[in-house]
Amino acid sequence: MIGIASDLRYKVRRSKTKNVIAEDFFAELSLKSQHRLSYQPKENIQLLKELMNNPKKIDFIPFSRKNPEIFDLLYFRWVFLFYYEDTYTLVLPNETKEVLQSIIHDPDFREENKKKSLLCEYADAFMNLYGAFETDFFLQVWHQHNKQYPLELHELLHDLIGLAWFNERLRITDNLEHIFDNSVMDEDEVLLFMSRSSHHNYYQPTKADINYFAKHEFDERTAQYKKMKRFFSKKLSSEKLVDVMDMIMVFIKLDLGMQGLVQELNTQFGILFDSLEDVKEFSFLYTDLNNHSRKWSNRGHTPRKLIKNHNTLSLIPNNIVPFTNRNAGKQETIQVKKVGRNEPCPCGSGKKYKHCHGK
């Protein structure tokens, strides 16, 4: 009881009996649970409602992949997972049911949970679109889209800090001016990242963008993405195909460079571009996909859109923007095996390999 009192910052007075103290604990824990539950996604709230009626048998691995938020419920012991006779079962303790009965159906809680679930969607979408961004920009878009939930800056920060307890990616810099994806960068990298992209205005997301990018790290709907996926589907199993496409999109979104990607594809998946036809097709598909993908260095814009806005696209043959390494400033090529010295260079320059990148 002393440990619980310390956790709840509860002052135990000698005048109170153990039963009274236990009742106070229950009330405090209920309030704490209500606060934490208000940050849970609607899928978790719906699952809790189902478990209030009966335990639920699940195929754990597929279920957890589709519902990763389940680990929050398990971590905070709202839900317990039992394994018996090759079957996983989710169970809600009776004590938890009693607490939930007084919370989940309360109109005020439902409205608060709706707002915070929406805030969580916006935070995930912004991290997937921009990587790091100004708090003021987030608040501006929030107000444009959600006039029914007006927020002052201090209210937004308070809710985001609460949300960060459950979202390991979401972090706010110490000066509270920037929000960033902690899975990719540390706080001391944020200012450098922001300065490198500061010459662009932010891509202004629509509500449809928020809905999509809250659940997707990259845009898988483009024709360019689908063409690249078809190219690799001939070479890979469906399971490896997902991993390869994810790797390609990470390299594109973070501007990591095509040469490094080719090396990683070889190292991790044994993919070798050992024919000139493969090299040319992959190079074209990669360049096209790169130009039509939303990138962090462009603050969510695609290279194609930025070039179009600057009216310089006509200078590029076939309306293709060369993929460049931001440090070297040159068009990158991929070095592959089985390219003869007298064959055309895979970079597409038109020169023989020995006079170009084969020197």
Task: Give the pLDDT of residue 301.
Answer: 95
Residues 123 and 74 in one domain: no
Decide if 309 is inside a domain.
yes
206 in the same domain as 127: yes
Is residue 32 predicted with pLDDT exceeding 70? no
Q: 227 with 158, same domain?
A: no
User: If you search the block for the tokens 């902690």, which residue do you land on?
Assistant: 182
Residue 181 belongs to a domain:
yes
Name the residue type at position 246: D
Domain assignment present for residue 218? The answer is no
Position 67: which residue type? N
Closest-CA residue to 292 (of 284, 242, 280, 124): 284
pLDDT of residue 4: 52
Assess whether 92 and 122 both reside in one domain. no
65 and 17 belong to one structural domain: no
Q: Which domain holds residue 282?
A: 223-355
Element (H, E) at 208: helix 207-213
17 vs 321 pLDDT, higher one: 17
pLDDT digits (tens, 9 = 90+) for 118-162: 999 999 999 999 999 999 999 999 999 999 999 999 999 999 998
Could you tell me the pTM of the whole model?
0.73
> What is the distance between the alpha carbons of residues 310 and 122, in angstroms, rounded to a whole number?
29
Question: pLDDT of 250-305, one tens digit each?
Answer: 999 998 888 899 999 999 999 888 788 888 999 999 999 999 999 999 999 999 98
**Final residue of a structural domain among 75, 90, 105:** 105
Query: Are the C-beta atoms of residues 181 and 132 closer than 8 Å to each other?
Result: yes
Residue 208 in domain: yes
Measured CA distances, 298 to 18, 116, 179, 201, 202 (Å): 61, 28, 17, 8, 8
% of the chain surpassing 90 pLDDT: 50
When divided into structural domains, the chain yields a total of 4
- Whether 227 and 319 map to the same domain: the answer is yes
Q: Based on the domain organization, do 255 and 275 belong to the same domain?
A: yes
**Exposure string (b/e) for 93-128, b if CB count within 10 Å is 16 or more?**
eeebeebbeebbeeeebeebbebbbbbbbbbbbbbb
Count of other CB atoms within 10 angstroms of residue 278? 17
Q: Give the per-residue pLDDT at 14.
A: 67
Give the separation between CA 321 and CA 340, rounded to whole angstroms: 27
The closest alpha carbon to 88, from 70, 69, 114, belongs to: 70
56 and 145 together in one domain: no
How far apart (Å, rounded) are the C-alpha atoms in residues 130 and 254?
A: 10
- Residues 172 and 121 both lie in one domain: yes
* Choice between 219 and 352, residue whose per-residue pLDDT is larger: 219
| Distance between CA atoms of residues 255 and 257, nearest Å | 6
CA 160 – CA 162 distance, rounded (Å) = 5
Kindly list the strands in the beta sheet with 80-84, ordered across the sheet, starting from the edge strand earlier in the chain: 56-58, 87-91, 80-84
Residues 35-68 pLDDT 10s: 778 888 888 889 999 999 999 999 988 888 888 8
In a domain, 256, yes or no: yes
Which of 182, 213, 244 corresponds to the end of one domain? 213
Asked whether residue 296 is assigned to any structural domain, the reply reads yes
236 and 347 share one domain: yes
Torsion of CA 259, 265, 271, 275, to 10 degrees: -20
What rounded mean pLDDT belongs to the chain?
82
Same domain, 237 and 342: yes
On whether the CB atoms of residues 39 and 56 are closer than 8 A, the answer is: no
User: Would you state the pLDDT for residue 334?
Assistant: 38
Give the H or E element holding residue 135: helix 135-145
pLDDT of residue 1: 52
pLDDT band at 23 (very low <50, low <70, confident <90, very high): low
For residue 48, give every residue at least 6 positions away whose Cβ sits within 8 Å of its Cβ, in sequence order, or none: 73, 78, 79, 92, 100, 104
Burial class (CB within 10 angstroms; exposed 0-12, middle 13-18, buried 19+) of 274 = exposed
344 is a domain residue = yes
With a cut of 70, say whether residue 229 has pLDDT above it.
yes
* 165 and 202 within one domain: yes
pLDDT value of position 138? 98
Q: How many residues does the chain have?
A: 359
Q: What is the pLDDT of residue 213?
A: 97
Question: Is 322:314 a contact under the CB 8 Å cutoff?
Answer: no
**Final residue belonging to a domain, choices 78, 105, 132:** 105
